[in-house]
Structure 1
Amino acid sequence: MMRVTVRVMGNLIGIIGCNSFVIKLDKNATIHDLLKKISELHGEKFKKEVLNQEGKGLAPRYKILINGKNIKTMDYFDTVLENGQTIHIMPPVAGG
């Protein structure tokens, strides 16, 4: 087993009820496994918000970072997580 810290922003705070939590995963778990577990814990609303319509990719408005690095520059949903990492799930930030 391993533990990772998940931090969320925007609409996800309301869906999950907090902006940060620690989650236990099996060794060699991937981003896909993490999102599946969060969906099981926090319901269909999380899944519909974060995943694309097919449920097989990230909704275009969201980014996932592992220790500050975008998963799109890694192995995307197949990126293997390591104990102690911090994962940010966040919508694009805009200002004006």
Structure 2
Amino acid sequence: MNLYLSGDDPGGPLAPADWTMAVTQEGLGEMPSYFADIQRAGAPVCRLTITGTWSEEEAHRLLAVKARFWIDEYLSRPHSGVTDFGALE
């Protein structure tokens, strides 16, 4: 899946189909923050963020590119042990 809904490809390596991204925004005005919650097969894996005065569409495009590169790097490194999120104490 490309993690971007517009017809134009934002760039970066394509993400596998089981990876998804949901974008939310906090704050308004001069410095809103946009968050991308990255999931693999419905399980949360990562949260990426950008802060700036972009339009919602531009923020989604930027986060899609950032997510694509993060997923590519994540999948390329060796994994061992449990990678699930632990309980916060």
Max radius of gyration: which structure?
2
Please identify which structure carries the higher helix content. Answer: 1
Higher relative contact order (CA 8 A, sep 6+): 1
Task: Give the TM-score normalised by structure 2.
Answer: 0.29
Task: Give the TM-score normalised by structure 1.
Answer: 0.28
